Amino acid sequence: MYEHFARTIRHYALERLADRRLLRELAYVDGQWTARQAAENPASGATVAFVAALDARQTTKAINGASRIFFPGWRALLPQERSKILRK
């Protein structure tokens, strides 16, 4: 029952995505794609999606790398300016 529901939500989201290449089931950390792991429905054990598998060290590395490289001046931007960038 829930498997169908999860699939329906996922398909609905994919239909609304203008560029399907934007969908990622991995995380990009320090120039490399990470491993992924299955997210399972606990009732049936069926895989409903794949998600990035990051441990604490990789998560910290991703956050530090993004803050260092991606937007050095992000903190100084007004919320309205951030919104414009995110909506591009």
- For residue 56, the model assigns a pLDDT of 92
pLDDT tens, residue by residue, 6-63: 444 555 666 777 777 766 778 888 778 888 888 888 888 888 778 888 899 989 988 8
- For residue 60, the model assigns a pLDDT of 92
DSSP 13-34: HHHH-S-GGG--SS-EETTEEP
Query: What's the rounded Cα separation, in Å, for the pair 14 and 24?
Result: 12
Query: What's the rounded Cα separation, in Å, for the pair 77 and 82?
Result: 6
Predicted TM-score (pTM) above 0.75: no
